[in-house]
Structure 1
Amino acid sequence: MKTATLPAVRVEPALRSDAEAVLDEGESLSDFVASCVRDGVAWRRTQDAFLTRARDAVERSEREGTGIPPQEVLRRMDDRLEAARKQLAAGKPSAGK
């Protein structure tokens, strides 16, 4: 397999020093940069897939009328928070502990 190069990137000397300071034993700066690019690509793909699933879920919920309005979600969260505060004030452990 042929290899390709990434474009050279100009950075502040402090960033280069910081990057060199965290290299593992035997790891080159090029190895580190390539690893970071691979991780960044994987992260972006994960984000894109998540957003696609989220958009699909919203569309399906709107189409089927099965969604919960945001105001209702927030009201339920506020109710749970208030219940937890009351338990703490009464000196009782909260559920799930």
Structure 2
Amino acid sequence: MKTAQLPPVRVLASVREQIESVLLEGETLSTFVEKAAVEAAQRRQAQQEFVARGRSSLAQARKSGKYYSAADALEAMSTRLAAARAAAQHSDDCAQDERQ
């Protein structure tokens, strides 16, 4: 895969020192900056997708005239969370039984 270069980033000496002080063993300043840029881009993409889903949902609600209260939405999320926790617990229990 071809690589590309990001523009140089000018920062205060104290910022560079702060970053260098938290580098992991074997990690370079360049890899740190690259990782930070990729993670920031991924966060922004996730935010944009979230907003797009919200706008789509709003448009669908306006079209259908069917809206849900915050209480209904929270109840549905709580139910899904409880089911996911139960499934995770069951998976942990099965894994533990297999080790014994």
Tell me, yes or no, whether TM beats 0.5. yes
User: What's the % identity of the aligned pairs?
Assistant: 37
Shift in Å at residue 2 of structure 1? Answer: 2.1
Moved over 4 A (4+): none
Partner of 2:88: none
Q: Which residue identity lines up with residue 50 of structure 1 in the other structure?
A: F
Residues 12-91 of structure 1 correspond to what in structure 2 (within 5 A)?
A: 12-68=12-68, 73=70
Q: CA RMSD in A?
A: 1.4
Deviations 1:4-28 (A, max 9, x none): 1100011111111111111000000
Q: State how many pairs are aligned.
A: 71
Q: Which residue identity lines up with residue 21 of structure 1 in the other structure?
A: S
Between structures 1 and 2, the one with greater helix share: 2
Give ranges in structure 1 of 5+ residues lacking alignment.
77-97
Partner of 2:2: 2
Give ranges in structure 2 of 5+ residues lacking alignment.
72-100
